[in-house]
Amino acid sequence: MYMHGIRKLFRFAGYVVEKISMTDDLAQVNLRRDKRCRLACPACDATMGRNRVKTQTARDLPLGTALQVVLVYEAIQGRCSACGLCTTIHPPGIDDHARATRRLQQFVSRLARFLPLSHIDEVVPVDDATAFRWDKAMLEDTLPLADLDNLRVLLIDEKAVRKHHGYVTLVMNGQTGELLHMAEGKKKASLQSFFDKLSKEQKQRIVAVGMDRAGAYRTVVQAELPDADIVFDKFHLIANYHAVIDEVRRAEWRKASAADKDVIKGQRYNLFRNPINRTGTQTHSLMALLRMNRNLAVAYILKDGLGKLWGYTYRKSAGKYLAKWCGWAAVSGVEALRAFGRSLLRAEEEVLNYCKHRITTARLEAFNNTVSRLMHRACGVRDMGYLYLKLRQESLSGGPPN
């Protein structure tokens, strides 16, 4: 068999290909030390003396139909008389601990971005535990450190990753989309661990932080970034108001007659939908509900009014409209609406900061879909450090793979 071209695939400095044996599913490449090359000390580059030679094997990339490729080579143990170092020399590019070439580990790590770890053995004969170790090691070695020197806008949110309220806190660069931090929990310590990594100068460069109204996060941000503006995310606020509508709906259902309960039942998402997303049947049933129930009609009308708040450009105008909306909620006669209006007035500063910075956590909320996709593909979370590396990989690559 003509092997000259194939030999070029197995060029390792200081070694030559002695023999290549191939079957349909297995290839064996025998390497021997090139006697023309001296044995150099990796510490001081002096010539080392040979103590002993041991034959070892390492896995390599598939070759044609041969999915299993085994390199058989001479591992030379040498001693440097100059610095006294005793070490074993392997062909460059071979990881003697993994018993595999680095290019094979890189290939497996690349596959792990597209495939579940349990399916990688369909392409390369590597079990999922080995693929997990290699992928994690490659990510730790190749992913850059988080860029903490050019931060101006932060986005903070929590994401459920386990059953029974198992959350992680995520921090993202609001301008670039780079994931900067992930920690278990959604309490003060989870976010504090991020700010502990920042220098005083790095904190001073941050001008705005987008987040929801979680009290724990707000307390930490106010303490660590006293000069930065907190911007309460408009999508979280709208979601909070949806929860208020749902509370009103449940209260009205409990006190309704049997006939009216049939009208209220099943209207939860119909109350949340934008008109453009409703079908004719859904619009008809919603109108019947609003004509029948005054409190739900008021809550629904105020929902549309609340959305107009973020259409204002000037802070003073937005402040006047916010006060007007809260006034409508105060005279609505519905306690849940009055309570929500009071909470908005207490957070007036953070709500109106949107006019200055125009930021939301939409980028981070969209990234939560990436978190869900990775967890679904992995059938859960086994290693939080590995999950963080995978999420950083996605945030730096600009989106999920196609």
pTM above 0.75, yes or no: yes
Surface-to-core class of residue 64, CB atoms within 10 Å of its CB (0-12 exposed, 13-18 middle, 19+ buried): exposed
**3-state class of 119 per DSSP?**
helix
Residue recorded with tokens 């987040």 = 211
Tokens describing residue 52: 């002993």
Tokens read off for 309? 């708040």
The CATH classification of domain 153-231+361-397, taken from the options 3.40.50.12140, 3.30.420.10, 3.30.2270.10, 3.40.50.2300: 3.30.420.10
- Do 233 and 212 touch, CB atoms closer than 8 A? yes
Question: What residues have CB less than 8 Å from 314, skipping those under 6 apart?
Answer: 355
- State pLDDT tens for residues 149-179: 999 999 999 988 877 668 899 999 999 999 9
Distance CA 88, CA 81 (A): 15
Q: Letter for the amino acid at 352? A: L
pLDDT digits (tens, 9 = 90+) for 267-294: 989 899 888 888 999 899 999 999 999 9
Q: Can you spell out the DSSP letters for 63-78?
A: BTTB-EEEEEEEEEEE
> Domain locations in the chain?
4-96, 153-231+361-397, 234-357
Retrieve residue 35's tokens: 């006697």
400 vs 370: CA distance, rounded Å: 7
Compare 194 and 276 and report the one with higher pLDDT. 194
Pairwise CA distance, residues 372 & 161, whole Å: 8
Choose the weakest-confidence range: 143-157, 207-221, 223-237, 346-360.
207-221
Q: How far apart are the first and last CA of the chain?
A: 39
Q: What Cα–Cα distance (Å) separates residue 382 from each residue in 25, 48, 161, 278, 376?
A: 33, 44, 11, 41, 12
